[in-house]
Amino acid sequence: MAERIGFLGTGLMGRPMAERLLAAGLPLAAWNRTLEKARPLEALGATIAPTPAAAVEGAGIVCIILEHAASIEEVLFAPALIEALAPGTVVVDLTSLHPDAARENARRLAGHGVVYLDAPVSGGPPGAVEGTLAIMVGGEPRGFERAQPVLSRLGRAIHVGPSGSGQITKLGSQIISGAALAAVAEALLLFSQTGVAVERAREALFGGYADSKVLRLHGERMIGRHFEPGGHVRTFLKDLNAAADLAARAELDLPVATLSRAMFDALSRDGHGECDIAAMALEIERRNAGRRIGALPAGEAATGETSR
């Protein structure tokens, strides 16, 4: 019989994840800070819990995906929730955190007999909907084995090492993605300013060494100037800041990561923190004043502002 799942956080990523688990017939109780965001799951068979503690009561697996470390601290370590977690429960934290925070979470929960896995994901809302997320898992192997029936419904989960390892792997993913976003934006700007049909040139790269999800998904957004968030600039910058912290401790020189971090920081300071990470195009355009990728939508001034 499938273990009961407590699911905390049904926002942009959490809700489609919970929907996939329910579609697989797994028993699930969901909680969200704004309960109305969890209500649609009720029609799919979920129990809507009024509090986090009620959601995890009797659960063998608890999935949690919140915005940041402060939210995790507030929700996961509330006395009522700690009391509701039975010894042996596996907590799967799908939130992107600093590795230090993940290790501390594992230590604290171990004191209550609870197993903690740091399991950040990559793939954005489309990957959550389609069940194709890359899931990078740190923590005890026995906990990973317990959680696999749940994680396999969400995407491809790989155990990468002890506590904190999942978060470190996610930071590596962000370094790669940040460089790719900048490179795609630069290539598209080059096309647009040298007489090449931008969209056709992008498609011409499909299947070659330059092909990637960044080129396909975010490249399309850059050309269409669709910067409403899937993944926010501010959260991406948070991860690149954490990567910079780890690199400094290890005395590593990571010049590409340093450059993309500076570019995302500039985007944030320019007021684009709430935009999708495809807004990297705006930073490349800022560095090339008056030049644009693709055509501006009707009525939009050539200021680098996003269209909504």
Pair of tokens at residue 143? 């906990």
CB neighbours of 235 closer than 8 A, spacing ≥ 6? 67, 68, 96
Handedness of CA 77, 80, 83, 85 (dihedral sign): negative
Residue 170 designated active-site: yes
CB atoms within 10 A of CB 291: 14
The amino acid occupying position 76 is L
Residues 167, 120: Cα–Cα separation, whole Å: 6
Which one of the listed residues 37, 170, 213, 238 is annotated catalytic?
170
Show the beta-strand stretches assigned E in the chain. 5-8, 28-31, 47-48, 61-64, 90-93, 115-118, 121-122, 133-138, 155-161
Residues 191, 281: Cα–Cα separation, whole Å: 13
* 26: nearest Cα among 155, 157, 156, 152: 152
Residues 263, 43: Cα–Cα separation, whole Å: 43
Residues that are catalytic:
170
